[in-house]
C-alpha cells in the first residue's frame, strides 16, 4: 500500500511594521543648541553696533539688580522659616514705603495723634505676637514698655522738619514691626498644621489686602520720595556744594570704547540705593550667621520639631522671622521708591523677585543676591535689545521657565532626597 508523504510548507512569521523611535531628548538638545547659537550671533551683531549701549545696560541692570536682591532676601527668609513663598511681600513693601513717606512729608504738628496710636498699638501687638499678653500685668515689663513708648512718641512729635528723615525712620520701623508681628500672629499661626497650600493662599489674600489698603489710604498716584535729595548738588551753586553728588554721574569710558560717544550716565539715586542695599545685605548675612537669633532661625528652618525639643521657642523665632521680613520689605520699598517713585506698581516687584529666588535657590540667601543681579541685568538687556516694555517684562519670565526646566533647585539650592 503506497503512502503519500505530505510536506508542510513553512509559514513566514509576520513581523509588524514599527516606526523608528526618535530620541526626543536629543532632538530638543540639538534644537536648543541651534537656538542658542542663533541668539548669540544676533546678540553679537547688536553689541557690535552699539557697545556703549551694552555697557550702559550692564550698569543699569547691576544697580537695579541690587534692589531686587534685597526683595528676594525678604522672600527667602520666610521660605527658610516656614517653607512657604510669601506672595504678600510686594504688598508689604507698598504699605511700609507709603507709611515711611507719610512720616517723611507730613508736618510735625499733624503727626502726633498718628504717632501715639501706632506706637501704642505696636506695643500691644508685640505682646500678642509673643503670646504674652498677661505680661502687661508685670509692673517691670509694663513700665519698661511705657518708657519706650513715651520716648518714641516724644521723638516723633518733637523732631522738627529738619530731622524728618529720623522721624520717618522711627515711623516706618514701627509700621514694619507691627505689620510683621500681626501677620504672623493673626494669619499664619492659626494655619499651623494645615496644608502648605493654605498658607500660600493666605499670603495671596494678604497681598490683595495690602494693595487695597494702599489705594484706600494713599490713592493710586505715584509719589516721589526724595530722601537722597540733600545729597545732590543744586544747579548753579555747585561750587559751594562740591562735597555733594550730581544728580547724574557721567563716566568717561573712552578707554573701553572706540565710538564717538563714550560717556556713560549713572543715576545717583539708583547708585546710592544700590550701595545701601548691599550694606544691608552684608549686615543681614552677619546677623544670620553670627548672632544667637540668627542661629535659632537657621535651626528652626531645618527642623521645627527638633528645635522645639531642645528648648527653642519656635513661635517666637517665627514671629521674629516675619518681623525681619517686614523690615526688609520696608528697606526694599524705600530704596526702590527713592530710586524711582512710590506707587501701587511697587507691589508687582514680588513677581520679578520670584525668578530671582528660584534662580538662586529657594533657601539660599547668597543665591538671592546672585539671582537678583541676574534678573536686573536680564531686564535691562531686554529693554536694550527689544527697545520696548515687552522685552523688559518678558525676559525675567523666560529665565524663570528655563530655570524650572534645567535646574529646578536653583544655582545654589539644595536637592532634597527622601528615602522611603
DSSP secondary structure string for all residues of 391-415: HHHHHHHHHHHHHHHH-TT-SSPPP
Band (258; pLDDT cuts 50, 70, 90) = low
Half-sphere exposure of 232 (CA within 13 A, CB side): 16
Residue 1 DSSP code: -
User: Distance (Å, rounded) from C-alpha 217 to C-alpha 203?
Assistant: 21
* C-alpha cell at position 292: 544667637
Largest CA distance in the chain: 138
Q: Measured between alpha carbons, how far is residue 157 from residues 72, 100, 143, 176 in Å?
A: 34, 15, 21, 19
Band (94; pLDDT cuts 50, 70, 90) = very high
- Which residues have C-beta within 8 Å of that of residue 47, sequence separation ≥ 6? 54
pLDDT surpasses 80 at 129: no
Q: What pTM was computed for the model?
A: 0.78
Percentage of the chain with pLDDT > 70? 65
pLDDT surpasses 80 at 353: yes
Residue 186 DSSP code: I
pLDDT surpasses 90 at 329: yes
Domain boundaries, the chain: 50-211+269-406
Greater pLDDT, 128 or 185: 185
Greater pLDDT, 410 or 198: 198
Band (5; pLDDT cuts 50, 70, 90) = low
User: Distance (Å, rounded) from C-alpha 307 to C-alpha 68?
Assistant: 32
* C-alpha cell at position 399: 529665565
Q: For position 327, what pLDDT does the model report?
A: 92
Amino acid at each position: 500500500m503506497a503512502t503519500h508523504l505530505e510536506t508542510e510548507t513553512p509559514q513566514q512569521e509576520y513581523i509588524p511594521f514599527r516606526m523608528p523611535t526618535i530620541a526626543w531628548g536629543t532632538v530638543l538638545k540639538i534644537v536648543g543648541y541651534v537656538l542658542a547659537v542663533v541668539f548669540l550671533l544676533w546678540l553679537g551683531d547688536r553689541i557690535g553696533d552699539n557697545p556703549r549701549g551694552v555697557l550702559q545696560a550692564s550698569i543699569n541692570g547691576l544697580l537695579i539688580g541690587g534692589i531686587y536682591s534685597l526683595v528676594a532676601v525678604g522672600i527667602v527668609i520666610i521660605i527658610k522659616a516656614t517653607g512657604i513663598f510669601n506672595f504678600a511681600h510686594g504688598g508689604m513693601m507698598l504699605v511700609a514705603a507709603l507709611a515711611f513717606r507719610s512720616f517723611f512729608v507730613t508736618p510735625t504738628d499733624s503727626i502726633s495723634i498718628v504717632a501715639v496710636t501706632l506706637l501704642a498699638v505696636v506695643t500691644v501687638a508685640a505682646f500678642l505676637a509673643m503670646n504674652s499678653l498677661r505680661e502687661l500685668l508685670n509692673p517691670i515689663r509694663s513700665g519698661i514698655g511705657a518708657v519706650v513708648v513715651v520716648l518714641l512718641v516724644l521723638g516723633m512729635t518733637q523732631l522738627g522738619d529738619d530731622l524728618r528723615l529720623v522721624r520717618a525712620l522711627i515711623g516706618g520701623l514701627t509700621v514694619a514691626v507691627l505689620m510683621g508681628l500681626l501677620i504672623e500672629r493673626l494669619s499664619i499661626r492659626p494655619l499651623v498644621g494645615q496644608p502648605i497650600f493654605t498658607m500660600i493662599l493666605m499670603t495671596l489674600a494678604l497681598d490683595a489686602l495690602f494693595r487695597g489698603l494702599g489705594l484706600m489710604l494713599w490713592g493710586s498716584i505715584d509719589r516721589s520720595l526724595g530722601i537722597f535729595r540733600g545729597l545732590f548738588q543744586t544747579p548753579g551753586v555747585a561750587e559751594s556744594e562740591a562735597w555733594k553728588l550730581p544728580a547724574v554721574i557721567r563716566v568717561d569710558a573712552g578707554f573701553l570704547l572706540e565710538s564717538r560717544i563714550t560717556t556713560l550716565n549713572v543715576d545717583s539715586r539708583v547708585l546710592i540705593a544700590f550701595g545701601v542695599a548691599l550694606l544691608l545685605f552684608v549686615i543681614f548675612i552677619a546677623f544670620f550667621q553670627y548672632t544667637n537669633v540668627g542661629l535659632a532661625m537657621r535651626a528652626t528652618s531645618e527642623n521645627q520639631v527638633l528645635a522645639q525639643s531642645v528648648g527653642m521657642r519656635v513661635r517666637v523665632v517665627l514671629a521674629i522671622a516675619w518681623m525681619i521680613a517686614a523690615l526688609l520689605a520696608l528697606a526694599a520699598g524705600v530704596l526702590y521708591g527713592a530710586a524711582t517713585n512710590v506707587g501701587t506698581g511697587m507691589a508687582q516687584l514680588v513677581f520679578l523677585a520670584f525668578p530671582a529666588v528660584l534662580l538662586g535657590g529657594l533657601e539660599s540667601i547668597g543665591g538671592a543676591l546672585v539671582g537678583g543681579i541676574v534678573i536686573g541685568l536680564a531686564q535691562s538687556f531686554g529693554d536694550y535689545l527689544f527697545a520696548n516694555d515687552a522685552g523688559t517684562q518678558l525676559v525675567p519670565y523666560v529665565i524663570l521657565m528655563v530655570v524650572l526646566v534645567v535646574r529646578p533647585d536653583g544655582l545654589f539650592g539644595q536637592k532634597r532626597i527622601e528615602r522611603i
